[in-house]
Structure 1
Amino acid sequence: MIRLDRTPLRYIDALHSLSEEEFRSTESRLSDDLKKIEERDQDFYKMLDNETLLTKVREFGAQMKGRFQTVVLLGIGGSALGPLCVHQSVCGNSPRFHVVDNIDPLWIQEIDDSLDYKETLFLVITKSGSTPETLAQYFYFSEKTKQKGLKLEDHFVFITDPHQGLLRKIANEHPGLITFEIPPKVGGRFSVLSAVGLVPAILMGVDIEALWKGARQMREAFLSPSFDTNLPFQLASIQYLLAQKGKTSHVLMPYAQRLVRFADWTRQLLAESIGKAKNDRGETVHVGLTPIPALGATDQHSQSQLYHEGPNDKLIIFMEVEDFGVELLIPTPYPEESSVDFLNGVSFNRLLNTEKEGTVRSLTHCQRPNITLHIDRVNEHSLGELFMLFEGATAFLGEFYGINAFDQPGVELSKQITKQLLKGLPVEL
């Protein structure tokens, strides 16, 4: 279960905080915003009813069990960030797992040199089926596979659009190749609970049923017309209302190593969804929130100074884990040493969460708005909840701003220019 604690907002000046009345000022629009999201006809929350997919992924996992020592995922953006997050957060006893989410030639060469191709399975993931970086990776590793005398059908799995794109065309040319579909109405950054996340997850030994169960539980909250039970709407309300007070940089700071990749995943979700030039009426608005991933306690020693004394333009969203699954006591080799006597009898668990509480209180003292998401334990269920919490909040943010949270027109121009440059064509600036 995930709980939202906004207590610090009560102790911060009204200029930088939200009163109870302000917090609830969005309540009257909840039902209408739910209808608007439904009218946008997106399946990121509806796909959780697709039991056929769950069955197919389970069967695939059983078929692949023990067959490969290494899994290499070829993808970028939402096709990589979600699986990376799942891997770090709840990975079971999995094979070696590489995510090739860039086209740095030295890095690709290093991964290539490390592979035993006979023992390697490649997952090629692209929503459109035509992502240049992913196709370039596929061309490289598929050619290497063929040079080893191996069949593509035995070593590659495609996850892509059911009908369109070059990857689908290639799949149709290889009838024995295993493929999974990305629903056409699910954008890449919202796809982690589709085959994009489930297929890598099953290969890692992740309990995908528990992942979906957590997501479904949060979906109930997301679809609730009650302000008091709709946690995604509450989170979006805080983000939007504080942005209206100049807090347009949003820091997500989990105090748990396993959630560092979750902060990376939310960065794409928030940036691509809310950073828009035009609203639904076609008016130029240039809205957006700047996501900043951080990690406690690590970034207390890199970013915290800025958050305490720099521009008061940030909302800090902490994430605190109650149960780490292990209680690790700090040894006491110098019990009489006054400089460290506060560590006597203290566990790493208590130290980490106490440092988080100290940061909360000091930021509050400095009039810096912050809230905390409390998580019982990092597991498949809670991760599913978190995915749906932030996807739902992002959908509501789109309605608050009156923009389409499900497109990304701004990135298309750079793609077009890149293609022209590679073809040697002139580009006008």
Structure 2
Amino acid sequence: MKFNFSPELRDTDFPVQEWFKSFNQVIDSSATGFFRVTDRSELLQSCKEIHEKFKHKKTFVQIGIGGSSLGPEMLISALQKNDVHFEFINNIDPDRIHDQLSKINLKESLFYVVSKSGGTAETMSGFAIVTNLLLENGVAESELKNYFVFATDPIKSELLNLGNELDVHCLEVPSNVGGRFSVLTPVGLLPALFAGIDCDKLLKGANDLKPKLLDENLSENILLQTACWLMDLKNKGRNQTVMMPYSSKLRDLGFWFVQLWAESLGKKKSLTGEDVFEGLTPIPGYGATDQHSQVQLFMEGPHDKVMIMLQVEKFDNDYSLQNKLNSPRLQKLAPHNLSDLMEAEFIGSLMALKEQERPYLHLQVPRNNEESMGAMILFFESLTAIMGSALKINPFDQPGVELGKIYAFARLDERNT
């Protein structure tokens, strides 16, 4: 990955040594496993064994919500290499679920139920619906193990207990890896294997980046550079972060980033318990499409945004725009390939942003492949962690989510009375 900052990095008085020390303490802690989980080869091996058993399945249905779906969706849309059909039951909209289940052959499908806690209401609802449909279609309860795989906490989980009761294979979601950080665990690795993605290369991409993230020459450490740049801009009122890959296949990277950034950094309390109402608001976009949509706001709206402009240097496919049609605009395009137009629009956007004094991070990856994806995942997870240190909040909890759940279950209890 290559990084270019506009405006350029400047000297600041941020306590970078303290941030770096805190980051190392986080990744070395037994309570926080996202950085080291890529070294646990047995997790991928367990997924390969499940894939070998069920590789005849024509449809893969992942039942999960939030981090149990967004990361896998990103991997599939960016990197799928075969014709396995994927569905993600990632919400509790009855009409949408009906549409999804109506167009698949249940008996040719594998259903992957993912819930770290093992009791996520939305996920368990999806599991109940699919189970009922299978039973209605003549599948015996003793045969459910041929249609389901679970992923959950290996120590304490309702789903783990249910898996043992039904003899359903249970893959591990490590206890010390939160859902939004879990894409490089079996949560994302199993669907990736079914999509023909090389997961060894995916993990290699993450591991190869680690020396740069841990570079003790702090003036060259890309992680600290990015954190300092973001904090400097935040102090000037730039508190919104736009993730804008110029690639349709990387569009879902933006949605994955939104959860990672929002749920980790949006906090009421500081580490010392004070009310701070902290956070950086993420906005997903993608080019060149959003040049005809959100870019008007990004260029001329409030000076409160930072752009992460992601460029794929070389596409795997291309199209010549050569033509003999009688149109001045078509003839102007004729000497070029489609990738030339994408590159020109990307660079044109950077130049316009600079002219309008809109800050951006130009992030380049050589190709949209497993190695690049693994590196990007670990970089943004690590950036999120170190931004937690910079903002003096805990990026690994989500207390604001729990209150709504309490009211939701109270509402259900009222309906039962």
Instruction: Tell me which interval the TM-score lies in, with the shorter structure as reference length.
Output: over 0.9
Deviation at 1:228, TM superposition (A): 4.4
Who is 1:318 aligned against? 309
Contact 2:323 2:330 in 1 (8 A): no
Residue 107 (structure 2) pairs with residue 118 (structure 1) = yes
Q: Does 1:93 align with 2:82?
A: yes
In 2, distance between residues paired with 1:142 and 1:333? 58
Aligned residue for 1:224? 215
Q: 1:170 aligns with which of 151, 162, 166?
A: 162
Partner of 2:261: 270
Give the match's secondary structure for 1:389: helix
Residue identity in the other structure for 1:109: H
Hey, what does 1:303 align to over in structure 2?
A: 294
Q: What does residue 3 of structure 2 align with? A: 4
Shift of 1:318: 0.2
Q: What is residue 135 of structure 1 aligned with on the other side?
A: 124
In structure 1, stretches of 5+ residues that fail to align are 11-18
Match of 1:79 in 2: 68
Partner of 2:110: helix, strand, or coil?
strand
Paired letter, 2:338: F
Tell me the equivalent position of 1:191. 182
Quote the Cα distance in structure 2 between the aligned partners of 1:20 and 1:340: 44
Q: Equivalent residue for 1:364?
A: 354
| Closer, same or farther: CA 75–39 of 1 in aligned 2, 3 Å | same
1:407-418 correspondence to structure 2 within 5 Å: 407-418=397-408
Are residues 30 and 423 of structure 1, via their aligned partners in 2, closer, same or farther at CA, if it must alter by over 3 Å? closer
In 1, distance between residues paired with 2:220 and 2:382?
Answer: 13
Task: Give the deviation of 1:341 after TM superposition.
Answer: 4.2
Shift of residue 204 of structure 1? 1.0
Deviation at 1:179, TM superposition (A): 1.0
TM-fit CA distance, 1:39: 6.3
Distance of 1:188 and 1:265 partners within structure 2: 11
Which residue of the partner structure matches residue 153 of structure 1? Answer: 145
**Would you say 1:47 and 2:17 are equivalent positions?**
no
Aligned length: 412
TM-score, scaled relative to structure 2:
0.95
* Residue identity matched to 2:75: V
Q: Quick one: which of 92, 106, 126 aligns to 2:95?
A: 106
Q: Note if 1:395 corresponds to 2:385.
A: yes
Q: Distance in 2 between matches of 1:411 and 1:361?
A: 40
Write the distance in 2 (CA, Å) between the matches of 1:74 and 1:294. 25
| Root mean square deviation, CA, Å | 1.7
- Check if 1:374 corresponds to 2:373: no
- Rounded to whole Å, the distance in 1 between the matches of 2:214 and 2:120 is 33
Partner Cα separation in structure 1 for residue 27 and residue 362 of structure 2: 29
Give the conservation status (yes or no) of the 8 Å contact 1:124–1:158.
yes
What displacement does 1:229 show? 4.5
The corresponding residue for 1:14 is: none
- 2-structure distance, mates of 1:231, 1:112: 45
Alignment gaps of 5+ in structure 2 = none
Cα offset for 1:380?
A: 0.6
Amino acid aligned to 2:359: P
> 1:220 Cα deviation (Å)?
2.5
CA distance in 1, matches of 2:350, 2:251: 19
